[in-house]
Amino acid sequence: MDENTILLQQFREYLQIEKNASPYTLTYYTKDIESFYKFLSEESIHFLSEVDYQTVRIFLTKQYDLQLSRRSVSRKISSLRSFFRFLEREEKVQTNPFLHLSLPKADKMVPDFLYQEELEKLFTICDLETPLGQRNQALLELMYATGIRVSECTTLTEDAIDFSLKTILVIGKGRKERYIPFGSFAEIALKRYISDGRESLLKKPNSFPTNMIFLNAKGKPLTTRGVRLIFTNIVKDTALTINLHPHTLRHTFATHMLNAGADLRSVQELLGHEHLSSTQIYTHVTKDRLRHIYMDSHPRAINRDN
C-alpha cells in the first residue's frame, strides 16, 4: 500500500471518528480524492507535498473540461480542501493549496414544493383499511409535518416519539440530535399505523423484532429506497402530474412554514441545517401568495372607490 493510499485511509478514519461523518460524506470524499489522485498520476506528480496552487488550478480547469456541474466542482474543491487541511495537521504538507481557491458560484435552484391543493389530494389516496395504506399515510403526514430527511425517517424508533408532547427526537447529520414537534394530523396517522398496521406487519413470516417505526411489506425496516418507491407509486394512483420525492415534502414543509410567517432561524433549527444559508433557499414565495400580498398591500393595486 503506497503512502497516498495510507493517507486517504487515515483521512477516512478521521472523518468517521472525529467528525462523525455520514456514509454518504465518506463515499463522496473518497471518490473526490481518488479522482484527484488519478489527475496527479497523469501529471506525473507522485507526492502530495509537491501539489501547489498552479497544480490545483490545472485540476480545476480539467474539471470544467469534463463539463461537470458547478455544484460537483464545488464539492470536489471542498473535499480536497478538507483533505489537505488534515494533511497540514498531520504535518504531511506545509501548505494547503486549496485554501485560497474560490468555489464556483452554484446555480440558484428554487426547490420544488407542493401547493396545498396537491397535498390534500395526496392525503386522500392511501387505503386506511390496510397495513401498508396506514403506513404510507403516516409517512406522508409525518414527513410533511416535520420536514425530516428520508434517512432520518427510516431510522426513527419507537422511543423517539413522544405523543404526550407531540415531538420526535431525530438523529440528523453528524449524529446531531434535535426535537421536532408535529401536529394532530400526523398524530392520528401515526397512532393508527403503530397500533394497527405496524402490528400486522410485525406478524409477517419473515419479519423479526425491531424498534424501527416504518416497516416494509415483509415486516422488516423500511429503507430510503423503499420510501422513494412508495412515493412514486402514490403519485401513480393520483391524477397529479408531479414528481414526488421524499425531499419534496421537506421543501414543502419549509416553504409553507416561511410563507405562513415562521422566522428563518426557527425553520433552520427544525430542518437541522448547520448554516442559515442552507435555509435561505426557501425564502421564495409562491406567485399566488406574492400577488395576494401585493394586492392587499399596495395603495394603488385596486381602485377601492369603485
- Decide if 239 contacts 169 (C-beta within 8 A): no
Q: Which helix (H) or strand (E) holds 101?
A: none
Active site residue 193: no
Are the beta carbons of 198 and 213 closer than 8 angstroms?
yes
Q: Up-side HSE of residue 300: CA atoms within 13 Å toward CB? A: 0
Exactly one of 75, 192, 251, 273 is catalytic; name it: 273
Q: Please identify which of the residues 149, 192, 198, 256 carries the catalytic annotation.
A: 149
Beta strands in the chain, from DSSP E residues, in sequence order: 161-162, 167-171, 177-181
Q: Is 250 a catalytic residue?
A: yes
**Residue 247 known to be catalytic:** yes
Task: Annotate 176-186 with b (16+ C-beta within 10 A) or e (fewer).
Answer: eebebebeeeb
Q: Which of 173, 178, 204, 220 is the catalytic position?
A: 173
The full DSSP string for 209-259 is: ---BS-B-TTSSBPPHHHHHHHHHHHHHTSS------HHHHHHHHHHHHHH
* 273 included as an active-site residue: yes
**Is 149 in the active site?**
yes
Q: Which of 76, 135, 250, 251 is catalytic?
A: 250
Q: Which of 29, 144, 193, 282 is catalytic?
A: 282
Paired residues of 215 in beta bridges = 221
Active-site entry in 178, 228, 245, 247: 247
Residue 198 annotated among the catalytic residues of the structure: no
Please state the φ and ψ torsions of residue 157, each to the nearest 5 degrees.
-110, 165
Q: Catalytic amino acids?
A: 149, 173, 247, 250, 273, 282
